[in-house]
A and B are shown apart, each in its own frame.
Chain A
């Protein structure tokens, strides 16, 4: 039984986290949710985004505190390591729950 409008359990479209809701950022978060950490090249391959697009979305996620970006080197080659922060994981889980509630069939 779906919650009544106005009840504390009611989820509105406006409640969705806009940082997570953007498709490219959602794809990045999904990828990072399934691994402990990954590098820039891995995300580039998995998401299919361009490097500029990926960089800008990662910056947005970092600003929101959802992703940690650590720049380093392996030998002489640069490697950017990325992982979800606890608040990023919580935001992703919350987003999934809310979207599932919004899309739930009222007849269920």
Chain B
């Protein structure tokens, strides 16, 4: 009974919180910038600075005054980081092994090709993280996101890199749009509340 209750409450908590759409916006921006970086062969450095800033601003000014503030537990963040890190390293090693087996090693002499390899592994590691989050919190749309990323890559191997870039960009923009829609619904449903009116 307590285990069931705890899981139910956790799902309720997460699904309510994810209703604000900021995670979808963050994910969409992340995929978009990584997709662009992959296409250009540049390291997606700017995204590491701007995306957290955008999401933090949305949360501070729009979400927390309405739904309250909560900081993720360290154990949860560490678990997610471990899963993403391991998936990333495995995919990186796999990508390097596959590419170097078919092409001469000099293909990686330039930084651009290496950056592409790293970015590709990072994007493909996202579905593992999304599937884990979906399973843990019972969020079905995260499974759809995970499948869509893999599909975009499969499309790339069939129809070329340009098709992959377009598929990733369109998918990323769709995820951002879903996030914005959720955020606007959330804001309409939850007016801002001052704790001064609530706390004893």
Which A residues lie at the B interface, using CB under 8 A? Answer: 26-27, 30-31, 33-46, 51-52, 55, 71, 77-81, 95-96, 99-100, 103
Contacts and interface: CB of A to CB of B under 8 A. Distances in A.
Nearest to A81: B69
A78 B193 CA distance: 11
Contacts of B3: 96, 100
B196 interface: yes
Interface in B9-33: 9-10, 12-13, 16
Contacts of B110: none
B191 interface: no
Nearest to B1: A103
B68 interface: yes
A60 to B, nearest CB: 13
Interface string B57-97: 00000001001111111101000000000000000000000
B1 A99 contact: yes
The 6 A-B residue pairs with the shortest CB-CB distance, nearest first, are: A42-B68, A41-B68, A38-B70, A36-B71, A55-B200, A35-B70
B46 interface: no
Contact of A77 (B10, B12, B194): B194
A41 B17 CA distance: 13
Contact of A52 (B13, B67, B200): B200
Contacts of A81: 69
Given A79-B195, A100-B2, A34 B12 contact: no
15 contacts: A30-B5, A30-B6, A35-B71, A35-B72, A37-B70, A41-B69, A41-B195, A42-B67, A42-B69, A46-B16, A51-B198, A71-B199, A78-B196, A96-B3, A100-B3
A81 B64 CA distance: 13
Given A46-B13, A77-B196, 8 more contacts: A33-B6, A36-B71, A36-B73, A38-B69, A41-B64, A45-B67, A55-B199, A78-B194
Contacts of B70: 35, 37-39, 42
Contacts of A39: 64, 68-70, 195
A62 B47 CA distance: 42
A41 B198 CA distance: 8
Given A34-B13, A45-B16, A78 B199 contact: yes
